[in-house]
């Protein structure tokens, strides 16, 4: 897909792999909408893009740990744009951000489930009218090979909590949502796929976990860009990729009943259904 003139929203794009993807798409002539919580980081990215001779991105500041913050971001994008060609759901927190202890969001949800999964679930649904208006368009969910089955009796992990389990559960939830949404969008001209970009990229999230990076943001960013613009994936939807290659996710992702349970819970928690 030629990106010149296309409108692309990338959440979590003022740092790490999202920043790299935003810069690359700006170089290709896309109208880039960047998101983060730090205006200084956003300005630094904007200055870098402009200095390279490309159009300045539009910055949307939002806290995706709350449903109200997530809705505010969607409202702002809908207010400013009539179409959205690509939505890259990339914002997330790792297993050790701000410590290993269990944390909750403003809405009382386990924090990693809220930020890594529920915010993207809500944003995708709210932005669907813009994505459908731009068809053929794409949704890319940045997930992980780290996946942990959901305990539907304790989704918020109030017992036996660990940051790594919470992170992995949120990432499997993204993949399950990808498969469901792809089914829902059949015939609408909107594809949705998820991926593990690369293992332990050199990002703030990885370093915060005390992990020595073993791959680069360029490697992970290239995998994301493949799903954003690759001709070979133009008609593919509901898939999970490991880097550049199609892969299999945790078996629970292919359990239709589990996906129905997750969808019902997600609609309720995000306020999309009573």
Q: How confident is the model at residue 274 (pLDDT cuts 50, 70, 90)?
A: low
Asked if residue 11 is part of any domain, the answer here is: yes
Asked if residue 101 is part of any domain, the answer here is: yes
Contacts of 187 (CB under 8 A, 6+ apart): none
Q: How confident is the model at residue 214 (pLDDT cuts 50, 70, 90)?
A: low
Instruction: Classify strands 240-242 and 245-247 as parallel, antiparallel or unpaired.
Output: antiparallel
Asked if residue 1 is part of any domain, the answer here is: no
Per residue in 176-207, pLDDT tens? 999 999 999 999 999 999 999 988 776 766 66
pLDDT at position 14 over 70: yes
pLDDT on residue 50:
98
For residues 89-110, give the mean pLDDT. Answer: 90
Asked if residue 274 is part of any domain, the answer here is: no
Range of the domain at 150: 7-269
Kindly state the DSSP code that residue 4 receives in the 8-state scheme. T
Query: Residue 135 and residue 189: Cα distance in Å, rounded?
Result: 5
Asked if residue 2 is part of any domain, the answer here is: no
Residue 226 zone, left/alpha/beta (φ > 0; ψ -120 to 50; rest): alpha
User: Is the bond preceding residue 136 a cis peptide, omega within 30 degrees?
Assistant: yes
Per residue in 245-269, pLDDT tens? 999 999 999 999 999 999 999 999 9
Q: What is the set of active-site residues?
A: 167
Asked if residue 25 is part of any domain, the answer here is: yes
pLDDT at position 96 over 80: no
Q: How confident is the model at residue 108 (pLDDT cuts 50, 70, 90)?
A: very high
CATH number at residue 41: 3.40.50.720
Supply the DSSP string of 224-258, one letter for each residue.
HHHHHH-GGGTT--S-EEETTEEE---GGGG-HHH
Is 0.85 topped by the overall pTM? yes
Asked if residue 49 is part of any domain, the answer here is: yes
Q: Angle of helix 163-184 relative to helix 119-133, nearest 10 degrees?
A: 30
Query: Residue 219 and residue 201: Cα distance in Å, rounded?
Result: 8
Per residue in 131-155, pLDDT tens? 999 999 999 999 999 999 999 999 9
Nearest to 88 by CA among 28, 178, 186: 178
**On the CB side of 170, how many CA atoms lie within 13 Å of its CA?**
29
Domain count, the chain: 1
């Amino acid at each position: 897909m030629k990106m010149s003139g296309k409108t692309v929203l990338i959440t979590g794009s003022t740092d790490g792999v999202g920043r790299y993807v935003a810069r690359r798409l700006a170089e290709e002539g896309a109208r880039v909408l960047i998101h983060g919580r730090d205006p200084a980081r956003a300005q630094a990215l904007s200055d870098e893009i402009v200095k390279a001779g490309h159009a300045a991105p539009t910055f949307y500041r939002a806290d995706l740990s709350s449903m109200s913050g997530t809705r505010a971001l969607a409202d702002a994008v809908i207010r400013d744009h009539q179409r959205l060609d690509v939505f890259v759901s990339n914002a997330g927190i790792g297993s050790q951000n701000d410590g290993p202890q269990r944390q909750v969001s403003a809405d009382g949800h386990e924090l990693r489930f809220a930020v890594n999964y529920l915010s993207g679930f809500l944003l995708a649904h709210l932005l669907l009218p813009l994505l459908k208006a731009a068809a053929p368009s794409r949704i890319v969910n940045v997930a992980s090979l780290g996946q942990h089955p959901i305990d539907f009796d304790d989704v918020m992990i109030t017992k036996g909590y660990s940051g790594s389990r919470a992170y992995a559960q949120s990432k499997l939830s993204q993949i399950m949502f990808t498969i469901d949404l792809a089914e829902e969008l059949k015939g609408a001209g909107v594809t949705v796929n998820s991926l593990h970009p690369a293992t332990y990229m050199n990002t703030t999230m990885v370093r915060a976990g005390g992990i020595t990076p073993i791959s680069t943001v360029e490697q992970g960013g290239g995998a994301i860009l493949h799903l954003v613009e690759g001709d070979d994936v133009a008609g593919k939807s509901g898939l999970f990729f490991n880097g550049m290659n199609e892969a299999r996710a945790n078996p629970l992702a292919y359990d239709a009943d589990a996906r129905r349970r997750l969808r019902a819970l997600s609609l309720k928690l995000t306020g999309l259904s009573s």
